[in-house]
A and B are shown apart, each in its own frame.
Chain A
Amino acid sequence: MKKRYDLIIIGGGVTGCALAWYFSHYDFEIALLEKEMDVCCGVSKANTGIFHSRSYWTPDTLKGELHLRSLSWFPRAKKELDLPVRECGALTVALSAADIGHLREVKARGRCPEAEIMGPIEARKREPNLNKNLKAAYYDPGTVVVSPFQLVCSLAECAALNGVEFHFDQHVRGFDQTSKYIRVLTPENNWEAAFVITAAGLFSSEIARYSRDKISDIRPCRGEYFVLDRDCDGFVNRVLYPAPRERSKGILVCPTPEGNVLAGPNFEPLDRFDSSTTYFGLEEVEKGAHRLTPHIPLHKNIRNFSGLRPTLPDRDFHIFFSNTYPNLLHLVGIESPGLTAAFGIAEYVGEKLHNKGLTLREKNDFRFRKAFPVFREADWKTREALIREDPDWGEIICRCEEVTVAEVKHALRTPPGASTLDGLKRRIRTTAGRCQGSFCLMSIPRLMSEIGNVPYGNMYKEGRKSPLFAGETREECSRSEYAEKGSC
């Protein structure tokens, strides 16, 4: 008998994983299908990681509504996911007199009681590296930065802990329905579920067309970034936004929960999915970052990356049931602030499915995720105790981020575990430090092989087409063998 699910979620980004986590609170059989080898491989892996406060919501849009809804979920999510966050607040900076008007608009829109507009002296007291020509700044204490990697992985882990099945390498090719169950077609499998939700990011329009639903094309909008060395921690202590422009929140400078400094993104509409970084784009980010913080140490860059926002022409989220399969729900155009809105989206989707007849019966044995210790952040007493408990805590394989073998083991073994180099990076920050893997790559392949049972030929950076190695060196042979055969 083929397994039938109550719910199938397509896409393992922040939206898909937030849905999985949300629905795992209820008594359902749930599967999440992802085309890559891990969660957090698309839009969700490359963004600023800001949990925007209400100051930055967009009125009269669905994304604005879900953004606001999401905010009330944040404390609960933080607790259930044991998610590290940096509650740093934000300053929106007016560099010209004309910009001050924008600050007033932001303030009026946000109606945050704790937020205030302050003068340049006060602003620079908080952020001494701000451009000294600033005219005013809007201070909003409610902005929080998270690691997008940690957020998505912790949502997935918590969902898995509560029974959600994660199936990777599942390229959805179409849908079908002959009974009351929708069939999701992938090359190797047919999956069946009473309800199906698609949350396919950049591919969300394409997937919606598999069910013959009409929707505009996703237009990718690229944003490029700099990630600065952790020894720049403290250069900025809050998110610094320029006064808002029309299309995006502008090029900002912000701290990350791990202690890096992030600068970016620019905003470049593309006609293709191309997440390359470019000279032009990085230069634009450089200029933008210099406008806010003229002395930003961009020479301490350890990584450039770019992300694609999956935008629709009206720049809003589109969440709708298929016209072909009534119990198939498409989520299209989930761009910024998708990370912030993820919990609101989940709640909204829950209501939509409930209205379609899905009964939400809460489990009484829902389990919270407990974050695994991070050696880098632990105090010496904790470190001592950890090593006593398991000597693997005493074997540091990544010098820059001080990652231990115990953490590698945990990341490989905790469902849905890491199976790739980037999967490890997103969970425990190996290869994410200043040497970008020059040291830890001396041990990670061995650990993946010994602990994860991954053969060297099947080690990938991220997807199935990104092998780390191209084979093994030639066999050794003795001098006499060589003389005999003329070669080895």
Chain B
Amino acid sequence: MPKKVLADVVVIGGGPAGMAAALGARESGAKIVFLLERGDELGGILNQCIHAGFGVQRFGEELTGPEYAGIYKDRLASSSIEVMTSTLVCEVNRDGYVKAVNRSGIWEISARSVVMAMGCRERTRDMIRIPGTRPSGVFTAGLVQYMVNVDGLLPGKEAVILGSGDIGLIVARRLELEGVRVNAVVEIRDSLSGLVRNYVQCLLDFNIPMLFSHTVTGIRGEDRVEAVKISKVDNSWRPIKGASQWMECDCLLLSVGLIPENELTQRLGIPICPESGGPYIDEKGTTEIPHIFACGNVSSVFDLVDYVSIISERTGSAAALKNPPAPVSFILECGGGVGLVVPQRIRERGEGDIFVRPATALRDGNIRFQRGERIIYEKPISICRPSEMIRIPSRGIEWPHETGKVKIEIDGEPVQGI
């Protein structure tokens, strides 16, 4: 028979979001909290991020990924939260009923609230449609990071990395340190996708060439990657005829974006926001089903884990409460220059933070929130990039009495290169 248990809160996913949400729920009075993780230990992607740079916002000091995760693991260990690792959730239904599988059998957990914290996955070669052969040696960058840092295995001897996102940049440096030559980092945009500090510390310091406005348009090698075709692209990212060359390498690493992993959410019929790739949520992470919450990268891919922790603790707290949420007051919409905004719904004015991801890199501009004709928030920005979210405390916004749609816009001068 399946093991049937009752819970106040079930958290799906034991990465940074899930760990913080479980603790948040417990601290806000949820008595029985389950934290379900598919991997064999908690921590999620933090476990493979052995570089420093985590925790400045949350803990005021610079930590490595495992150290940052360690703080939460310790807190969980001394809490009464039921942690189940190597446990995969197969089904969730709208009543808060969660079906999970592990070596001890099938678990049916009936919960008052469910927190979705499944994180994200990497975009693959086929999603960006790179033609060519299908040899060994084409990997997503995050997988390579795991292979190298956890399994101690190298993906190749000479690499080309597509995408200048942070994972790509950090993996480039890691490979150089292990004696794997990185021939180039190739970026289709005309500006950096990752953080400038990562560009400096990971590429410049290791003399790794960076090619802007280029992409990979072919893969050669029947068995193992032998070379990749690198093409210059025009303003609309189309390869320019005649402007391509083959670059030899034995592996191609892809750092071409992350996708919130929302298959479980979608099966519940919860609508997904096309910009963020996650469910529409309010400032507490409530989805369109009041007792189902989402936090961390499953709601939108964040740039800093610190933000994920801060938000997720709040979401966990909200999931612990029994009272139904207030009605939605405002719907936030992306206007010009805005790639995404999260949360997209505001119920209570002045609570939590709003995160805005710029669509492109801009300098000397403004970010503006508008309710109808009325500007309810405006702030100059010296520079903004898609890689860095703009964090706006909700209490700094002059929320009007009149509810409705709020449009967010960013303007400024385009930035090219770094």
User: For residue B197, which residues in chain A have a CB less than 8 angstroms away from its CB?
Assistant: none
Q: A355 within 8 Å of B by Cβ?
A: no
Q: Let me know if A391 and B122 touch, CB within 8 A.
A: no
B101 touches A394 (CB 8 A): yes
Q: Which of A304, A460, A461, A465 contacts B126 (CB 8 A)?
A: A304
Contact (Cβ within 8 A) B106 A384: yes
Given A301-B129, A387-B101, A394-B102, residue A473 in contact with residue B148 (CB < 8 A)? yes
- B263 interfacial by beta-carbon distance below 8 Å: yes
Contact A302 B38 (CB under 8 A): no
Which B residue sits closest to A436, measured CB to CB?
A: B124
A460 to B222 alpha-carbon distance, docked (Å): 13
Check if B136 sits within 8 Å of A467, measured CB to CB.
yes
Does A402 have its Cβ within 8 Å of any Cβ on chain B? yes
* B-facing residues in A272-293 (Cβ within 8 Å): 275-279, 281-282
Known: A278-B131, A462-B136. A474 touches B101 (CB 8 A): no
**CB proximity to A under 8 Å, residues B122-142:** 122, 124-127, 129, 131-137, 140, 142
Which of B1, B124, B154 is within 8 Å of A384, CB to CB?
A: B1
CB of A388 within 8 A of chain B? yes
Q: Are A383 and B153 in contact (CB under 8 A)?
A: no
A230 → chain B, closest Cβ, in Å?
Answer: 10
B414 CB-CB contact with A under 8 Å: no
Check A121 for interface membership: any CB of B closer than 8 A.
no
- What's the least CB distance linking B227 to chain A, in Å? 12
Chain B's closest residue to A301 (CB) is: B126
Q: Is B152 an interface residue (CB 8 A)?
A: yes
Is A188 engaged at the interface, CB distance under 8 Å to the other chain? no
Asked if A456 is at the interface (CB within 8 A of a chain B CB), the reply is: yes
Q: Which residues of A contact B39 (CB under 8 A)?
A: 442
Assess whether B132 is in contact with A276, with CB atoms less than 8 Å apart. Answer: yes
A360–B129 alpha-carbon span in the complex (Å): 51
Name A468's contact: one of B38, B106, B136, B218 (CB within 8 Å).
Answer: B136
- Given A438-B143, A470-B154, A396 contacting B179 (CB threshold 8 A): no
CA distance A446 to B152 in the complex (A): 12
Contact of B90 with A by CB under 8 A? yes
Cross-chain contact of A435 among B105, B122, B155 (Cβ < 8 A)? B122
Query: What residues of chain A lie closer than 8 Å to B122, measured between beta carbons?
Result: 435, 438
Q: Which residues of B contact A435 (CB under 8 A)?
A: 121-122, 124
A472 at the interface (CB under 8 A from B): yes
What is the CB-to-nearest-CB distance from A455 to chain B, in angstroms, rounded to a whole number?
A: 12
Measured CA separation A167–B1 after assembly (Å) = 45
User: Can you name the residue of chain B whose Cβ is closest to the Cβ of A473?
Assistant: B152
Q: Is the CB of A391 within 8 A of B103?
A: yes
Which residues A66-115 have CB closer than 8 A to chain B?
none
B220's nearest neighbour on chain A, judged by CB, is A276
Give 1 or 0 for each of A430-461: 1 = CB within 8 Å of chain B CB. Answer: 00000111110110011000000000100011
From residue B44, how far is it (CB to closest CB) to chain A in Å? Answer: 12
**Shortest beta-carbon distance from A431 to chain B in Å:** 10
- Measured in the bound complex, the distance between the Cα atoms of B178 and A448 in whole Å is 24
Asked if residues A304 and B129 are in contact (CB atoms below 8 Å), the reply is yes
Query: Are the CB atoms of B133 and A470 closer together than 8 Å?
Result: no
Query: Smallest CB–CB gap between A277 and chain B, Å?
Result: 4
**B136: which of A276, A439, A466 is its contact (CB, 8 Å)?**
A466
Q: Is the CB of A276 within 8 A of B131?
A: yes
Taking CB atoms and an 8 Å cut-off, the chain A residues in 219-240 that contact chain B are 231
Contacts of A456 in B (CB 8 A): 153
Chain B residue with Cβ nearest A463: B223
A276-B133, A438-B140, A467-B136 known; A474 vs B179 contact (CB < 8 Å): yes
A472 to B179, CA, bound (A): 11
Q: Return the CB mask of B220-255 against A: 1 if under 8 Å, else 0.
A: 101110000000000000000000000000110000
Beyond A391-B103, A470-B154, whether A231 also contacts B179 by CB under 8 A is no
Asked whether B323 is an interface residue with its Cβ less than 8 Å from the other chain, the reply is no
Closest to B224 in A: A466
With A279-B131, A387-B101, A463-B223 known to touch, is A436 a contact of B125 (CB < 8 Å)?
yes
- Tell me if A203 counts as interface (CB < 8 A to partner B): no
Chain A: interface size category:
35 or more
**Is B386 at the interface (CB under 8 A from chain A)?**
no
B88 at the binding interface (Cβ < 8 Å): yes
B104 contacts partner chain A, Cβ-Cβ < 8 Å: yes
> Cβ of A399 and Cβ of B88 under 8 Å apart?
yes
A436 to chain B: which residues have CB within 8 Å? 124-126
Take A396-B38, A435-B124, A473-B148 as given contacts and tell me if A387 and B103 are in contact as well, using a CB distance cutoff of 8 Å.
yes
Contact (A279, B217) CB under 8 Å given A394-B103, A435-B122 = yes
Query: How many angstroms between the C-alpha atoms of A302 and B259 in the bound complex?
Result: 13
Per the 8 Å Cβ criterion, residues 173-198 of B in contact with A are: 178-180
Partner of A394, one of B1, B105, B156, B178: B105
Is A469 on the interface with B (CB-CB < 8 A)? yes
In the assembled complex, the CB of B335 is this many whole angstroms from the nearest CB of chain A, namely 24
Looking at B125, B142, B152, the one whose CB has the most chain A CB atoms below 10 A away is B152
Q: Which residue among A384, A392, A437, A438 has the maximum number of chain B CB atoms within 10 Å of its CB?
A: A438
Q: Mark B108-126, 1 if CB is under 8 A from A, else 0.
A: 0000000000000110111
B132–A277 CB distance below 8 A: yes
Question: How far apart are A379's CB and chain B's nearest CB, in angstroms?
Answer: 11
CB distance from A378 to the nearest CB of B (A): 11
Q: Are A473 and B178 closer than 8 Å at their CB atoms?
A: yes
With beta carbons under 8 angstroms apart, the residue of A231, A278, A461 that contacts B263 is A231
The answer to whether B136 touches A473, judged by C-beta atoms less than 8 angstroms apart, is no
Judged by a CB distance under 8 angstroms, whether B400 is at the interface is: no
Is B97's CB within 8 Å of the partner chain A? no
**List of B residues within 8 angstroms of A468 by Cβ:** 136
A469 touches B142 (CB 8 A): no
Q: Does A187 contact B (CB under 8 A)?
A: no
Chain B residue nearest to A304 (CB atoms) is B126
Interface flag for B146 (CB, 8 Å) = yes
Report the separation of the CA atoms of residues A383 and B137 in the bound assembly, to the nearest whole angstrom: 35
CB B225 to nearest CB in A, in angstroms, measures 10
Instruction: Determine if B127 and A395 form an interchain contact, defined as CB atoms under 8 angstroms apart.
Output: no
Q: Is the CB of B155 within 8 A of A277?
A: no
Cα(A467)–Cα(B195), bound, Å: 33
In the complex, whether A305 has a CB less than 8 A from a CB of chain B is yes
Q: Is B151 an interface residue (CB 8 A)?
A: yes
Which residues of B29-50 have CB atoms within 8 Å of chain A's CB atoms?
38-39
Q: Known contacts being A231-B263, A469-B147, is A395 close to B155, with CB within 8 Å?
A: no
Q: Is A135 an interface residue, CB under 8 A from the partner?
A: no
Which residues of B are found within 8 Å of A466, using beta-carbon distances? Answer: 135-137, 223-224
Instruction: Select from chain A the residue with minimum beta-carbon distance to B102.
Output: A394
Q: B391 — which chain A residues lie within 8 A by C-beta?
A: none
A395 vs B88: C-alpha distance in the bound complex, in angstroms? Answer: 8
A352 at interface, CB cutoff 8 A: no
A305 touches which one: B127, B134, B223 (CB < 8 A)?
B134
Q: Are A395 and B103 CB-contacts (below 8 A) given A279-B217, A438-B142?
A: yes
How close is A113's CB to chain B, nearest CB, in angstroms? 41
CB distance from A117 to the nearest CB of B (A): 37
CB within 8 A of B153: which of A275, A303, A462, A472? A472
Bound form: Cα–Cα A472–B154 in Å: 5
> Could you say which residues of chain A place their CB within 8 Å of the CB of B137?
466
Q: How far is the CA of A276 from the CA of B220 in the complex (A)?
A: 8
- CA distance in complex: A387, B131 (Å): 41
A391 to B87, CA, bound (A): 12
In the complex, how many angstroms separate the beta carbon of A439 from the nearest chain B beta carbon?
Answer: 7
- Does A471 make an interface contact (CB < 8 A)? yes
Known pairs A304-B129, A380-B2, A438-B121; list 17 more (Cβ under 8 Å).
A276-B133, A281-B131, A282-B131, A301-B127, A396-B101, A435-B121, A435-B122, A435-B124, A436-B124, A436-B125, A441-B143, A442-B143, A442-B146, A462-B136, A462-B223, A467-B224, A473-B148
10 closest Cβ pairs, A-B complex: A461-B136, A465-B223, A466-B136, A466-B223, A391-B103, A394-B103, A396-B88, A436-B124, A277-B131, A473-B152
Sample of 6 A–B contacts (CB below 8 Å): A380-B2, A394-B101, A442-B150, A446-B151, A470-B157, A473-B148
